[in-house]
Chain A
Amino acid sequence: QVQLVQSGSELKKPGASVKVSCKATGYIFTTYGINWVRQAPGQGLEWMGWINTNTGNPSYVQGFTGRFVFSVDTSVTTAYLQINSLKPEDTAVYYCARTLGPDQDFQYWGQGTLVTVSS
């Protein structure tokens, strides 16, 4: 069965970097893109963008350009979200998600990774 398993919670200081992983199993990794969704404390869901796992080409939503980097390592079927120059407002739960098919809704979700940025 399809599973997305994310790395554990992180506590970082402002200005540092963090790299969140999303390990995919149960399907051919390069067949579907991986999306990233942010949820700030007590807030709603924000789509950050996605990465084509076949080509490695990322696509970022406005507001998530510059400090946010999507990448993949197909050898370990894992997608990564790196956030550089962390700010307190980056504190959130970050989810990876996969659609059921091309251009469809998010059927599969990781369990979420809490990133806390605090001095």
Chain B
Amino acid sequence: EIVLTQSPGTLSLSPGERATLSCRASQSVSSSYLGWYQQKLGQAPRLLIYGASNRATGIPDRFSGSGSGTDFTLTIGRLEPEDFAVYYCQQHGSSRTFGQGTKLEIK
């Protein structure tokens, strides 16, 4: 099983700042099979990024994804108040697994 480890566990930033979230895989994952999700309290997750770097439909361009192999990054360019949430990475190159999540909170 591919284990995804996200860091940091919690990220405290202010609106307008830049957020960088990390997702590290225990073995190499094809970029095509790495996605990022946003989950707000009481809501279902929402797909943000698929194929490591492609924004899903309707996702603002302040969200961007990058990375390859075992190291992937989600960047939020300028934080808006609605961006404070929990973020998960998921791989589906070998079965499917989620990272444990990064909570992005207002500083």
Give chain A's interface residues, CB within 8 Å of chain B.
35, 44-47, 61, 95, 100, 103-107, 109-112
- The answer on a CB contact under 8 Å between A103 and B44 is no
* Cβ-defined contact, A44 with B44, below 8 A: no
* Contacts known (A44-B100, A46-B98); A107 close to B44, Cβ less than 8 A: no
B88–A105 contact, CB under 8 A? no
Given contacts A45-B88, A47-B98, A105-B35, 19 further A-B contacts (CB under 8 A): A35-B96, A44-B88, A44-B98, A44-B100, A45-B37, A45-B90, A61-B95, A61-B96, A95-B45, A103-B33, A104-B92, A105-B50, A105-B56, A105-B92, A106-B35, A106-B45, A107-B47, A107-B56, A109-B45
**Smallest CB–CB gap between B10 and chain A, Å?**
13
- How many residues of chain B are within 8 Å of chain A by beta carbon? 21
Enumerate chain B interface residues (CB-CB to A < 8 A).
Answer: 33, 35, 37, 39, 44-47, 50, 56-57, 88, 90, 92, 95-101
Query: In the complex, which residue of chain B has the Cβ closest to the Cβ of A93?
Result: B44
12 interchain pairs (CB within 8 A)? A44-B99, A44-B101, A45-B45, A45-B90, A45-B98, A46-B98, A47-B90, A61-B95, A103-B92, A104-B92, A105-B56, A111-B44
Report the minimum CB–CB distance from A112 to chain B (whole Å).
Answer: 6
